[in-house]
Structure 1
Amino acid sequence: MSRGFSIGIVGGGAAAVCLIDALARARGGPGSVTVFEPSPDLWRGRAYQVDTETLRVNATPDDMSVRAGDPGHFERWLAARDRATGGPAEFDPWSGVRFAPRTVYGEYLEQTAAAALADLRRQGWQVNLIGEPVTAADRGPDEVVLRSGRGGVRSFDHVVLCVGGDRPQDGYGLAGAAGFVADPYPVLGRLRQIDADDHVAVLGSGLTAVDIVLSLAAQGHRGPISLLSRRGVLPGVRQRPIPFELRHFTTERLRSLARRRRHLSIDDLGALMRAEFRDAGADLDAAMADLAALGREDPVARLRRQLGDVDSPAMGQRILQRAVPETGPDVWPLLRPRDQAEVLRSHYRTTMSLCCPMPPGSAAALLRMFDSGQLANRSGLRSITVRPDARFDALTGTDAAVTADTVVNAVNAAEDRIPAAARPLVDSLVHGRAADRHPYGGLHLERATSRLTVDGRPDPRLYGLGNIGAGALFFTWGVPSLVDRSVDIVAAILDHSAELDAARAADVLVST
């Protein structure tokens, strides 16, 4: 690649770190890489910004490594940090697993990005960090032109959109109300304003809601806390890890089946999963019955039961919690459209419960608060209104109003999966026929390369990584997914650059 090539990366969070690390290890180029990120939380993103150590990642260290093919990368970094700081390593008392504070994981992202960029410079790459948002993009014949917030215009051979996720949506129109916390992060700043005796209503019952409850408890909150949501489903509880490898429900097996047919059915997946359970001596019917009870079983009783099963030798939940996020990104694009619609309509919350279980220590802390009466979980949320005295009335499924002094927003981001700050950029791509919106959110992507597609045709110069591919790939959360997609993107960019160099070399030969 004698001419070199340029890569523009829009966004500087965890996805960008995975991409840059994969690029540095690919030993391609040299060329130039430019990262656009206006936030002061460069490399950390919204999830891993500087905050209280009460907030912890919900995955084991091997699932948090940004280094492809090296699941011990983050764990070794943690050990080195322990030696440097002299701080003791804290392990979950229920599972014996270390769930690092998210702010510490942010340090890991910062240092890994710095090391990868230094490696790229040693390889001859030019590195640019631009503290501006990208507001528009134009797809030219041989380049992508990005326009940034202060009027800058830069052209690139390849562009990767790593725009991250959005903030919680205000589904009840509470913006501007004095006691409404629209975005809880960073909790050190946003929750400190809450009076210790306030009745706090938390909108949602997922992992963000768990963060808020545990953070309030850590800062000594004395008042009642109510989780308010439509279904009242709490996150699952992660069990103590038992080493095993998937044998049937694997990416390789799915791709082999996909080569023989256009789509896979739910029955195809069921057969593979049944074989997986059979070989592990696990009961698939029992596991399916447990999932079917989600939403019907009392959430606190389910939490208590799952906490009690942390050390269970039964492999059913472990297989599902491993298979769904690991193989799911390759399953989703192969499903028939009607099956995708059914998953989104009927099984989305179940899938989230499998993919995103909480640490057992978090579950134990919640259970203590439920048992003490300080914490309540109320489903069937229908409305929230602001009272004349500036407090809030929430109407739940029991028709009983919950009156709260403060409301903290912990609901999911907007369903289109494109953050508000990135919408002008995405709109410019769509209007320029360089991208297509996906009906399930984000943009259409090619599964194998993460290239943006228009009318089904992949563009070798434009890529999406993370939430922006949610509709096309569905499983865009989690570091392992970001790492896998990053490797695919880097390989696709290097292949395309090699093709361009070969074509230019052939043109030179012909002209001489």
Structure 2
Amino acid sequence: MSRGISIGVVGGGAAAVCLIDALARSTGEPGRLTVFEPSPHLWRGRAYQVDTEILRVNSTPDDMSVRAGDPGHFARWLKARDRITGIAQGVDRLSGARFPPRTVYGEYLEQSAHEALRGLRRDGWRVDIIGGAVTAADRLSGHVLLHTRRGRARAFDYVVLNVGGDGPKDMYGLSGAPGFIADPYPVAGKLRDIDDHDEVAVIGSGLTAVDVVLALAAQGHRGRISLLSRRGVLPGVRQRPASFSLRHLVPERVAELALSGDGVSIESLATVLRAEFRDAGADLDTVVHDMLRVDLEEPVDRLRRQIDEVDSPNMGLRILQRAVPETGPDIWPLLREEQKVRLLRAHYRTIMSMCCPMPPSSASVLLDLVRSDQLEMFSGLQDITPAADAGFDVIAADGTRFHADRVVNAVNASEGRIPRDAQPLVTSLIRTRAASRHPHGGVQLARATSRLTRNGRPDPRLYGLGNIAAGALFFTFGIPSLVDRSQDIVAAIREHAGTVGHARGGAEAAA
């Protein structure tokens, strides 16, 4: 058995695949890798589980590669799959871009994980996959002890927490009410029992809500569908891809700002942003105007306008969609607290709607349903309650009241909210002061290494990846972000291991 380092990975979704791929391509002494994943969606996570092929990824293949430095990895895999199936799925009829089914992307994640694990085993790693939940952790001298629900404890030199995102929150206390669907995934199973003529109310207006509407339309639903939310902000519509590179909104420029006398401020960032837009011949004021009028523009009008702008030559929106995930995690930790609070309160949902857009063909289906009077959108949702006889009573802000036969909960989970199943684990770390909650979600960690911080100091043995880092890094859930952070984590582990040595290869004990 290898006598190198031991790494425990808590969570086996897409983030774990990015991490394992990075580890398989790193150099250094082999060791022991253990992945804990209690769900049946190993490597796929909640987002890419087996489901209807109607649901698409919302990014093009070059933004979905799990391999650092190889943006064509997923595209090549797709081409190989196309040759076998004889079908190129997910080509958008409006933009010509490709948005493959999410269930197909899940296949890619599975195969990428298996390939990386085979490589690790060839290099001498011992690999274990444990289908159980980690319920607690102890930070001991020189290692981290993970406890599972079955009462066993395993010690590791390094632990990476990538516990994923949470499901929809029941905002109106409808759990258990007949006709209420608390979590719509997988839609192929959860929506199957909805009668074709039922009037369906969908709580939410984000990407999950869009999924529900698309799935209902695909299964031939003929009853009225109502999208209900507090703000009525739909995801933006992705424009036709264009090739470009950021020149000013890059980590190096942000580092220069941080070292300057004035530091990083909203004003200094605006100067850099204007330079980026100027060099691309883009109009920053147009993008800012769109952000500020989100709550003033009717959702349907905004949807129609953005579909018309799919082929827009203005690069502004494309620049924003590239800069937020690529440079956002570098900028966010450097902002003052009052600036973070102002951005989160005033613009977070708007920025996410613009930077996590839906494919144009999905937007087109929504607009067709609106034109046929089958789909209606309501903002300012006030309340939903079970009706006295059956179904639900809905009250909107303008006083509109109507009845719904079924209610589907499609509220996007708050980024950085610790998933319910991971709460005991995170609570145990916080209780023993091995970790601390971030005021904006998730836990505190260091930007450069993704190490959890203890009393403000990075812990070289504990790491966070994905949504658990949302409060600290702002944007953490896109595949490119997961790939970048995985590289940071593997490099940090390798560097630390090289300085302290791990001849015993981790400890293991029965608790």
Q: TM-score range by the shorter chain?
A: over 0.9
Distance 1:460 1:448 in 2: 12
Distance 2:259 2:20 in 1: 31
Distance 1:331 1:364 in 2: 35
**Matching of residue 119 in structure 1 with residue 119 in structure 2:** yes
Find the counterpart in structure 2 of residue 312 from structure 1.
312
* C-alpha spacing 1:51/1:11, structure 2 compared with 1 (3 Å): same
User: C-alpha offsets along residues 53-112 of structure 1, whole Å, 9 cap, x if unaligned?
Assistant: 000000010111000010000000000111122223441011111101000000000000
Is the CA contact (8 Å cut-off) linking 1:263 and 1:336 kept in structure 2?
no
SS at match of 1:286: helix
Is the CA contact (8 Å cut-off) linking 1:6 and 1:31 kept in structure 2?
yes
Find the counterpart in structure 2 of residue 390 from structure 1.
390
Aligned-pair CA distance for 1:415: 6.2
**Matching of residue 105 in structure 1 with residue 105 in structure 2:** yes
Distance 2:54 2:104 in 1: 11
Aligned-pair CA distance for 1:417: 1.2
Find the counterpart in structure 1 of residue 235 from structure 2.
235
Distance 1:226 1:503 in 2: 61
Is the CA contact (8 Å cut-off) linking 1:262 and 1:334 kept in structure 2?
no
Distance 1:6 1:437 in 2: 26
Find the counterpart in structure 1 of residue 476 from structure 2.
476
Find the counterpart in structure 2 of residue 299 from structure 1.
299
Aligned-pair CA distance for 1:261: 5.5
SS at match of 2:381: coil
Is the CA contact (8 Å cut-off) linking 1:177 and 1:390 kept in structure 2?
no
Q: Residue type of the partner of 1:175?
A: S
**Matching of residue 216 in structure 1 with residue 216 in structure 2:** yes
User: C-alpha offsets along residues 138-158 of structure 1, whole Å, 9 cap, x if unaligned?
Assistant: 000111000111111100000
Q: Residue type of the partner of 2:120?
A: L
Is the CA contact (8 Å cut-off) linking 2:463 and 2:489 kept in structure 1?
yes
Find the counterpart in structure 2 of residue 376 from structure 1.
376
Aligned-pair CA distance for 1:252: 1.6
Q: Residue type of the partner of 1:158?
A: Y
Aligned-pair CA distance for 1:330: 1.1
* C-alpha spacing 1:243/1:471, structure 2 compared with 1 (3 Å): same
Where structure 2 has 5 or more consecutive residues not aligned to the other structure, the ranges are 505-511
Is the CA contact (8 Å cut-off) linking 1:134 and 1:149 kept in structure 2?
yes
Aligned-pair CA distance for 1:230: 0.4
SS at match of 1:202: strand
Distance 2:361 2:312 in 1: 16
**Matches of residues 38-49 of structure 1 in structure 2 within 5 Å?**
38-49=38-49
Distance 1:361 1:227 in 2: 18
SS at match of 1:26: coil
Find the counterpart in structure 2 of residue 355 from structure 1.
355
Distance 1:149 1:27 in 2: 34
Distance 2:260 2:478 in 1: 30
Distance 1:38 1:28 in 2: 30
Distance 2:263 2:433 in 1: 27
Distance 1:346 1:356 in 2: 17
Point out 4+ residue stretches in structure 1 off by more than 4 angstroms.
none
SS at match of 2:8: strand
Distance 2:147 2:89 in 1: 45
Where structure 1 has 5 or more consecutive residues not aligned to the other structure, the ranges are 505-512
Find the counterpart in structure 2 of residue 510 from structure 1.
none
Find the counterpart in structure 2 of residue 139 from structure 1.
139
User: C-alpha offsets along residues 207-245 of structure 1, whole Å, 9 cap, x if unaligned?
Assistant: 000000000000000000000000101110000011111
Aligned-pair CA distance for 1:482: 0.3
Find the counterpart in structure 1 of residue 507 from structure 2.
none
**Which shifted more, 391-400 or 213-222?**
391-400
SS at match of 1:382: strand
Find the counterpart in structure 2 of residue 507 from structure 1.
none
Find the counterpart in structure 2 of residue 342 from structure 1.
342
Is the CA contact (8 Å cut-off) linking 2:201 and 2:226 kept in structure 1?
yes
Distance 1:228 1:437 in 2: 31
**Matching of residue 267 in structure 1 with residue 270 in structure 2:** no
**Which shifted more, 17-26 or 415-424?**
415-424
**Which shifted more, 9-18 or 317-326?**
317-326
**Matches of residues 428-443 of structure 1 in structure 2 within 5 Å?**
428-443=428-443
SS at match of 1:150: coil
**Matching of residue 494 in structure 1 with residue 494 in structure 2:** yes
* C-alpha spacing 1:305/1:415, structure 2 compared with 1 (3 Å): closer
Distance 1:418 1:101 in 2: 27
Aligned-pair CA distance for 1:472: 0.7
SS at match of 1:390: coil
Q: Residue type of the partner of 2:264?
A: L
Is the CA contact (8 Å cut-off) linking 2:56 and 2:101 kept in structure 1?
yes
Find the counterpart in structure 1 of residue 129 from structure 2.
129
- When the two chains are superposed, the root-mean-square deviation of aligned CA atoms in Å is 1.4
Distance 2:503 2:37 in 1: 34
Distance 2:256 2:432 in 1: 36
Distance 1:75 1:261 in 2: 44
Q: Residue type of the partner of 1:267?
A: E
User: C-alpha offsets along residues 473-510 of structure 1, whole Å, 9 cap, x if unaligned?
Assistant: 11011000000000000000000000012999xxxxxx
Distance 1:65 1:123 in 2: 23
Distance 2:28 2:471 in 1: 31
* C-alpha spacing 1:136/1:250, structure 2 compared with 1 (3 Å): same
Distance 2:390 2:275 in 1: 57
Distance 2:326 2:363 in 1: 24
Is the CA contact (8 Å cut-off) linking 1:442 and 1:468 kept in structure 2?
yes
Distance 1:463 1:502 in 2: 18
User: C-alpha offsets along residues 191-220 of structure 1, whole Å, 9 cap, x if unaligned?
Assistant: 001111000000000100000000000000
SS at match of 2:58: coil
Give the length in aligned residue pairs. 503
Aligned-pair CA distance for 1:262: 8.5
Distance 2:146 2:326 in 1: 34
Distance 1:338 1:105 in 2: 39
Aligned-pair CA distance for 1:46: 0.3
**Which shifted more, 387-396 or 55-64?**
387-396
* C-alpha spacing 1:262/1:497, structure 2 compared with 1 (3 Å): farther
User: C-alpha offsets along residues 343-375 of structure 1, whole Å, 9 cap, x if unaligned?
Assistant: 110001111112200000001111000111000
**Matches of residues 52-63 of structure 1 in structure 2 within 5 Å?**
52-63=52-63
Q: Residue type of the partner of 1:195?
A: D
Find the counterpart in structure 1 of residue 410 from structure 2.
410
Find the counterpart in structure 2 of residue 463 from structure 1.
463
Aligned-pair CA distance for 1:334: 1.1
Distance 2:145 2:262 in 1: 35
Q: Residue type of the partner of 1:438?
A: H
Find the counterpart in structure 1 of residue 452 from structure 2.
452
TM-score (ref. length: structure 2): 0.96
Distance 1:415 1:490 in 2: 24
Provide the identity percentage: 67
* C-alpha spacing 1:427/1:263, structure 2 compared with 1 (3 Å): farther
Is the CA contact (8 Å cut-off) linking 2:415 and 2:470 kept in structure 1?
no
Distance 2:357 2:284 in 1: 19
Q: Residue type of the partner of 2:44?
A: R
* C-alpha spacing 1:503/1:218, structure 2 compared with 1 (3 Å): closer
Q: Residue type of the partner of 1:383?
A: D
Distance 1:262 1:476 in 2: 27
Find the counterpart in structure 2 of residue 188 from structure 1.
188
* C-alpha spacing 1:89/1:217, structure 2 compared with 1 (3 Å): closer
Find the counterpart in structure 2 of residue 322 from structure 1.
322
Distance 1:480 1:438 in 2: 23
